[in-house]
A = this chain, B = another copy of it.
Amino acid sequence: MSTNHTERKSEMGEDRVVTKVLPGFMELLPADQIAFNRMMDTIRSVYERFGFVPLDTPVIERTEILLAKAGGETEKQIYRFKKGENDLSLRFDLTVPLARYVSEHEKELAFPFRRYHIGKVYRGESPQKGRFREFYQCDIDIIGNEKLSLVNDAEVVSVIYQVFTELGIGSFTIRVNNRKLITGLLQALGIAELTVDVMRIIDKIEKVGCGNAKSMLSDLGISEDSISKIFDFLNISGDTRSILVGLINLNMKNETFEMGLNELREVVSYIETLGVPDECFVVDLSIARGLDYYTGTVYETSLNDYPKLGSICSGGRFDNLAEKYTRRKLPGVGVSIGLTRLFSQLQEVSLIRKERSTLTRVLVVPLSTEGLDTSLQTASALRQNGIQTEVYLEEAKVKTKFAYANKLGIPYVVIIGEEEVASKTVSLKNMTTGEQKRVTIEALVSLAQNQ
């Protein structure tokens, strides 16, 4: 990096500052920014259709709020600074701010509180491929007051289904599990105190392989027999029905396990009622999300053609959102899309649709100063009718003006010269077909509206 900077500076011949974006931060050119915003708009539109209200909280929070519940890794990654007497930090997720918000405003909110939040969060991770220090999260959460129906866990799946259907980035699978199953199994095996460690190992199975995972479990002091029971559980596979039958056939006499099984059956049944097609979701007993605070249903989502991208939308059910901030018990369920990372991954596998470098649909080109007034009036008429319009205002050769339209990918150019002014018409050129015709401004407006 520093070598590049030096080169750049010497090439400039003077000591100018480095204008490259910081490593770990995403900055897009217009065409990609337009594609990024389209994805964000789609997500927002689906979230709103499911009755979630928008929320926007400060990027800066008191450090004591952010670190009230967080562990060592978070503390290391956090952007923290003092301003005056205040110990401040940049938020590292949208869940802690939600907990603070709900605690502060609980008397003013109606419960269940359904909010979506699309915003930037910050983690000072060592920069590596696919890891960002500033990234967008697109979260939904449904927060209950003391209790929250299990049907919400199914509804979240319905939201995920709708989002990824509308994003149109290929077929996908929503993986659903319930943490109470593994928790109950480990209780029954008498190793409940190892639950967190075991879940972390389960999360790693795909990466390290079954053999390694087994020896890691063995290293924890878990017996052969128990390890084999854990794998009997994890290996239950097939379609949703078969997995549920497999779980019943384990015949586990443990309250937590049975509760998990009942919850999972109920959630699966509501997912079907909500119209999520069978081919889009599976029960996957290997989903643990060991690092998170979930207590029941958990979700992950993967693209069928790109399993290596990992989970692109994850979440779950939690018992109590804000125990550090309020006495009220606030159970919830939610899910998060890490949009910056997802976008960057989709770029790598060329799944981002190539957008034009502008939203402009019509470029008005005055051929000479005589055409300028009519050009401005034509542009105003188009804009009044909702059509994204620009006028090429610089003095330049006609060729340069058309080159501008081509570089940006503007689909229509309206040419206005002396002849057009005299005849109260404009020349409309379709930049894709090359076709050109004379029309009145009224006809132009109606043509542009119908394109």
Q: Give Cα A296 to B149, complex, Å.
A: 62
User: Which one of A313-321, A381-389, A428-436 is at the interface?
Assistant: A381-389
Mask, A366-381, CB within 8 Å of B = 1, is 0000001100110110
Q: Please, which residue of chain B has its CB at the minimum distance from the CB of A79?
A: B83
Q: Give Cα A162 to B377, complex, Å.
A: 14
In the complex with contacts A34-B54, A273-B376, A376-B273, A394-B112 CB distance below 8 A = yes
Q: Give Cα A28 to B101, complex, Å.
A: 10
Is A293 in the interface zone, CB < 8 Å from B? no
Tell me whether B51 and A360 are in contact (CB under 8 A): yes
Instruction: Give the interface centre of A80, A115, A394 by most chain B CB atoms within 10 Å.
Output: A394
Q: Give Cα A86 to B19, complex, Å.
A: 14
Q: Give Cα A275 to B270, complex, Å.
A: 56
Is A62 in the interface zone, CB < 8 Å from B? yes
Tell me whether B101 and A27 are in contact (CB under 8 A): yes
Tell me whether A404 and B59 are in contact (CB under 8 A): no
Q: Please, which residue of chain B has its CB at the minimum distance from the CB of A395?
A: B149
Is A236 in the interface zone, CB < 8 Å from B? no
Set B27, B124, B388: member contacting A57, Cβ < 8 A: B27
Is A424 in the interface zone, CB < 8 Å from B? no
Shortest distance between the CB of A378 and any CB in chain B (Å): 11
Shortest distance between the CB of A128 and any CB in chain B (Å): 15
**Chain B hits for A352, CB < 8 A:** none
**Chain B hits for A21, CB < 8 A:** 57-58, 104
Is A259 in the interface zone, CB < 8 Å from B? no
Tell me whether B53 and A394 are in contact (CB under 8 A): no
**Chain B hits for A86, CB < 8 A:** 22
The oligomer's copy count stands at 2
**Chain B hits for A109, CB < 8 A:** 29-30
Mask, A23-61, CB within 8 Å of B = 1, is 001111110011011000000000011111111111111
Q: Give Cα A65 to B103, complex, Å.
A: 39
Number of interface residues of A (CB under 8 A): 100
Q: Give Cα A22 to B100, complex, Å.
A: 12
Tell me whether A358 and B53 are in contact (CB under 8 A): yes
Shortest distance between the CB of A114 and any CB in chain B (Å): 7
Shortest distance between the CB of A305 and any CB in chain B (Å): 26
Tell me whether B55 and A33 are in contact (CB under 8 A): yes
Q: Give Cα A436 to B25, complex, Å.
A: 54
Shortest distance between the CB of A23 and any CB in chain B (Å): 9
Q: Give Cα A26 to B57, complex, Å.
A: 8
In the complex with contacts A22-B62, A60-B134, A377-B53 CB distance below 8 A = no
Is A306 in the interface zone, CB < 8 Å from B? no
Set B59, B144, B158, B386: member contacting A134, Cβ < 8 A: B59
Q: Please, which residue of chain B has its CB at the minimum distance from the CB of A394?
A: B149
Q: Give Cα A380 to B144, complex, Å.
A: 22
Tell me whether B81 and A387 are in contact (CB under 8 A): no
**17 A-B pairs, CB-CB below 8 angstroms?**
A21-B57, A22-B60, A22-B61, A25-B60, A27-B101, A28-B56, A30-B54, A49-B388, A50-B388, A51-B358, A51-B359, A51-B388, A81-B81, A148-B394, A151-B372, A155-B376, A274-B376
| 5 closest residue pairs by CB, A with B | A51-B390, A81-B81, A19-B104, A51-B360, A149-B393
Given contacts A30-B55, A53-B358, A270-B376, 8 further A-B contacts (CB under 8 A): A17-B64, A17-B65, A18-B64, A19-B103, A22-B88, A29-B105, A51-B359, A274-B380
